[in-house]
């Protein structure tokens, strides 16, 4: 465990200061570093490519940005925090009065000494995010302010993303998606895309392979949309998945439910929390959030859930410079990693049976499964006798409903169901699939 924490800490420090956005050199650098953890394949979509109702934007890279007063003092410096610059700002090199500059300055509404995070991806603009102290210093400066943004757009550029398919014994896939576009914010979402890399490595090392696993590292929204467009036929076959985000804070664990709140992914997450004696928050599915709304859209209908530790929107430092490496700790990410792994392990260990006699109930007495005297079998739960449970298994074992789902549906322990199901296999009434 100690070695894992040291490794997580090393990558947190190595990745935190990289300038990431929807596109650009920072994303490529980030993916190259993650390749040292797990064999991600780095791919790209060209700028200008149409993806459903969207278009991949021009590639954007920011080289430098600052504001100097008349004495040449840098009051705002992009090199000290990447979120000083509004994402996708165009270049400017002018001397302005404070009143001219003021509309382009952004303050945090609640934390005076925090730099807010702002973007202008699809509207051509420029701006700076500053603390209240920097704002006051700019407003009190004598003379004009020298404003400089050195950035560039490339219409022949690309949007880069990472993909890793871990093949299993089944072609049925579980999707794990995370986003890589936020600069200089540790919980949102350095913690999430780093956890995803370690999670993929753990699956490969432990050969958790009853399913296949599709991991993707994409810029939020446009990256997920582009990935859906180019992998439509594959994703339409996927039933469930996880969006990994905000997993490294000091606050409470919680999970955002998938679109179908009754889906087994939600039940399994709650089982994992309960087994670990964790007091957790349940967030119902909401249209706001991350890329679950892309994967859960009508065309795909994938039930995507999220386990979080200090969920986005919920913690005070969200989208600010206070979301730094003093807020996120390796041990918090490690705890979240273990929970995600336990969920995938439960999914991997699910057992499926298929009824070989699906057309009406079989004549159970032929198989010595029906009591000679009515009501001669004792109840095995508060609700059902053994014969009732056997009938439920026959009714619901369609090859796509796991024994765990049947257990939760009829509220009978899975170990009891397993004994009866295996007897039905011996009688050649069920087959394990």
Same domain, 186 and 211: yes
Contact status, residue 200 vs residue 215, Cβ threshold 8 Å? yes
Please give the share of the chain, as a percent, with pLDDT higher than 90.
88
- For residues 194 and 204, give the distance between their C-alpha atoms in angstroms, rounded to a whole number: 16
Q: Can you tell me the mean pLDDT for 155-160?
A: 98
- For residues 250 and 333, give the distance between their C-alpha atoms in angstroms, rounded to a whole number: 10
Which residue from 334, 200, 346 is spatially nearest to 266, judged by alpha carbons? Answer: 346
Please report the pLDDT score of residue 88 as a whole number: 98
pLDDT of residue 291 exceeding 90, the answer is yes
- For residues 147 and 97, give the distance between their C-alpha atoms in angstroms, rounded to a whole number: 10
- For residues 368 and 24, give the distance between their C-alpha atoms in angstroms, rounded to a whole number: 68
Neighbours of 110 (CB within 10 A): 9
6, exposed or middle or buried, with CB in 10 Å at 0-12, 13-18, 19+? exposed
CATH number for the domain spanning 370: value is 1.10.10.10
For the ranges 86-90, 157-161, 262-266, 384-388, the lowest mean pLDDT is seen at 384-388
Q: Where are the alpha helices (DSSP H) in 283-398?
A: 292-295, 330-348, 386-396
- For residues 411 and 181, give the distance between their C-alpha atoms in angstroms, rounded to a whole number: 43
Same domain, 195 and 283: yes
Q: List, for residues 391-402, the tens digit of each pLDDT value.
A: 999 999 999 888
> Where residue 374 falls among pLDDT bands split at 50, 70, 90?
very low
Same domain, 296 and 357: no
Same domain, 223 and 321: yes
Contact status, residue 428 vs residue 366, Cβ threshold 8 Å? no
Under 8 Å CB-to-CB from 382, ≥6 apart: which residues?
A: none
Cis-peptide, bond into residue 189, ω within 30° of zero: yes
pLDDT of residue 373 exceeding 50, the answer is no
Please report the pLDDT score of residue 408 as a whole number: 86
The pTM of the full predicted model, rounded to 2 decimals, is 0.90
Please report the pLDDT score of residue 381 as a whole number: 57
Same domain, 313 and 191: yes
> Where residue 405 falls among pLDDT bands split at 50, 70, 90?
confident
pLDDT of residue 418 exceeding 50, the answer is yes
> Where residue 385 falls among pLDDT bands split at 50, 70, 90?
confident
Question: Residue 208 belongs to what domain range?
Answer: 2-57+157-348
Beta bridge partners of 212: 173
Please give the share of the chain, as a percent, with pLDDT higher than 70.
97
Which has the higher per-residue pLDDT, 297 or 372?
A: 297
Same domain, 167 and 267: yes
Please report the pLDDT score of residue 372 as a whole number: 59
When divided into structural domains, the chain yields a total of 3
């Amino acid at each position: 465990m100690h070695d894992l924490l040291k490794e997580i800490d090393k990558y947190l420090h190595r990745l935190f200061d990289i300038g990431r956005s929807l596109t650009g050199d920072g994303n490529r650098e980030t993916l190259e570093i993650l390749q040292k953890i797990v064999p991600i394949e780095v791919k790209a979509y060209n700028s200008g490519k149409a993806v459903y109702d969207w278009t991949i934007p021009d590639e954007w890279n920011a080289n430098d940005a600052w504001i100097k007063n008349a004495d040449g003092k840098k009051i705002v410096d992009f090199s000290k925090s990447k979120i000083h610059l509004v994402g996708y700002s165009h270049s400017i090199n002018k001397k302005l009065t404070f009143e001219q500059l003021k509309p382009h300055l952004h303050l945090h509404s609640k934390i005076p000494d925090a730099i807010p995070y702002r973007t202008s991806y699809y509207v051509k603009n420029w701006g700076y995010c500053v603390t209240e102290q920097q704002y006051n210093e700019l407003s009190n400066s004598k003379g004009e302010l020298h404003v400089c943004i050195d950035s560039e757009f490339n219409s022949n550029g690309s949007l880069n993303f990472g993909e890793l398919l871990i093949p299993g014994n089944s072609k049925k896939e579980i999707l794990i998606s995370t986003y890589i576009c936020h600069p200089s914010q540790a919980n949102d979402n350095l913690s999430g895309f780093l956890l995803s890399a370690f999670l993929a490595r753990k699956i490969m090392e432990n050969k958790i392979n009853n399913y296949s696993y599709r991991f993707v590292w994409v810029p939020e929204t446009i990256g997920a949309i582009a990935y859906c467009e180019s992998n439509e036929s594959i994703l339409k076959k996927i039933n469930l998945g996880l969006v990994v985000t905000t997993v490294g804070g000091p606050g409470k664990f919680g999970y955002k439910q998938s679109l179908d709140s009754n889906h087994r992914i939600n039940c399994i997450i709650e089982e994992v929390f309960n087994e670990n004696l964790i007091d957790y928050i349940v967030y119902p599915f909401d249209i706001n959030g991350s890329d679950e709304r892309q994967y859960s859209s009508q065309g795909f209908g994938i039930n995507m859930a999220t386990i979080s530790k200090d969920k986005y929107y919920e913690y005070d430092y969200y989208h600010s410079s206070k979301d730094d490496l003093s807020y996120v700790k390796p041990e918090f990410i490690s705890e979240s990693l273990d929970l995600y792994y336990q969920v995938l392990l439960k999914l991997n260990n699910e057992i499926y049976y298929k009824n070989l006699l699906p057309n009406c109930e079989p004549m159970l007495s032929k198989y010595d499964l029906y009591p000679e005297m009515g009501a001669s079998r004792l109840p095995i739960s508060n609700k059902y006798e053994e014969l009732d449970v056997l009938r439920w298994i026959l009714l619901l074992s369609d090859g796509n409903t796991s024994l765990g789902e049947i257990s939760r549906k009829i509220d009978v322990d899975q170990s009891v169901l397993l004994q009866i199901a295996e007897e039905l296999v011996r009688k050649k009434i069920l087959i394990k699939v």
